Amino acid sequence: MKITATCFLSITALLCSASLAREQHPNVLLICVDDLRPELGCYGVSYVETPNIDRLASRGRIFRRHYVQAPTCGASRCTLLTGRYGKPSNAALFQRAEQIRKAADSVPPSMPAWFREHGYTSVSVGKVSHHPGGRGGERWDDDSILEMPQSWDRHLLPAGPWKDPRGWMHGLANGEIRIDARNRAGTVEMDVIQSVEGPDSIYPDGISIEESLRQLDLLSADTEHPFFLAVGILRPHLPFGAPAKYLKPYENADLPPTPHPTKPQGRTTWHGSGEFMKYDRWGRNPNEDAEFALEVRKHYAACVSYADAQVGRILAKLDEAGETDNTIVVLWGDHGWHLGEHAIWGKHALFEESLRSPLIVSSPAVMNPGTPTDSIVETLDLFPTLCEMTGVPKPEFVHGVSLRPMLEDAAAAGHVAVAYRSGAQTIRTPTHRLILHKDGYAELYDHTSVAKETRNVAESNPDLVKELSQRLRDRLAF
């Protein structure tokens, strides 16, 4: 085929136009980490090894007071992916999908769908929505039941030896699958902590990250479309299993004492840590056995370091593909996790430990990178933020606000944060947390005091309870 000079110039102009479009609309890499506490080197914690997340933080903005909307995976991820307050249910996204099935026009598009509508290729790998791979059915692999319809060009979960997404979700080393941590007969089937010699691929994240790297290669090769790639990292979700090399640094480590480790007095959102306690604990309770509590904390730290290594693999591939300077990278924890604070081992409460999680935004647009901000922000702020940073139109239906001011100035003002679970809601200000129960009972905690969330001061501060209750109602009036 003969190519004329005019044809060559036309092709060159087209390629330049495509390249320019990608420069005008940066890629988005969203890394979602399950059950991750803000217990990382870049958050001032020296006893947990997270060199890759720390390097990401050094070129971005660390949000030290980021709060999720719900202390549970499904509801929190629903807020992230829709930019809207919602229901405190793990089934929130499936409920939304059912609404779409009945009347698609009545449901605003999700964040990946919005970016897809504006020219992005949207891909998800691992646990991004509540079900890894984003499907329903008994084993979470039914292609006819989508958790997020119309959202992804590809929504992937390679299950490997764990057979299916449900097995992958609660898997331990070398394909061990949790049918149920405790079966109907009361027999415990899976250990709560584990450490096995071997490469990263012997645990679930190892193989899903391999798929993430393959997708990054494919997306980078497409010079016409920017990409929205969401990668879900499972650990440190229960059970706490990671390759032995990640536990070794903690075997003889000195961890600081757990703050306020006793069950709170009076009425609170405390619970009995059922998600943790149903695993095989060899008859030991970390609330009564300090040695076991320390062992659990070390295994959790090992899982965090394992997750950090997966973050490192993703960022290295981004560098290798030459996409780092044209990609906004967000690392987000879907909620916090108690490691014995308030005698809780898990999430699901409305205390600080359940609701505060890491948030790091890295981009060339961040001014004075590596500087943290203490301004309060919420998960649902990410949708409008990413729109503003990429040049994608900001939709009117989102409930959050852009974090662009804080990316340009770490001292920029934040706002209050609200969250909810079944039967209670909470609002966090720079100085206080109010938890308002469905029947009107109030918990008020003063974060300027040494007691923080161990002493309910609602009775002695009725005016503040009234004021914050109204602000909470106003915030959730949607």
Give the CATH number of domain 26-417.
Answer: 3.40.720.10
**Which candidate in 25, 130, 225, 432 is catalytic?**
130
Torsion of CA 214, 215, 220, 222, to 10 degrees: 120
Torsion angle, alpha carbons of 139, 143, 149, 153, to 10: 110
CB 161 within 8 A of CB 174: yes
Query: pLDDT tens across 35-57, in order?
Result: 999 999 999 999 999 999 999 99
Is 419 in contact with 66 (CB distance < 8 Å)? Answer: no
User: Tens digits of per-residue pLDDT, 246-278?
Assistant: 999 999 999 999 999 999 999 999 999 999 999
Counting residues of the chain whose pLDDT is more than 90, the rounded percentage is 92
**Residue pointed to by tokens 């993703």:** 314
Active site residue 130: yes
pLDDT at 179: 76
Neighbours of 17 (CB within 10 A): 10
Given 25, 32, 66, 73, the catalytic residue: 73
By C-alpha distance, which of 253, 231, 238 is closest to 203? 238
For residues 285-289, average pLDDT: 98
The DSSP secondary-structure symbol of 198 reads: S
**What is the band of 187 on the pLDDT scale with cuts at 50, 70, 90?**
low
Structural domain boundaries of the chain?
Answer: 26-417, 423-478
Determine the Cα–Cα distance for residues 9 and 300; give it in Å rounded to an integer: 58
The DSSP secondary structure of 101-147, one letter per residue, reads: HH-GGGSPPPHHHHHHHTT-EEEEEESSSSSTTSEESTTS-EEEEES
Catalytic, 73? Answer yes
Q: Is the pLDDT of residue 433 over 70?
A: yes
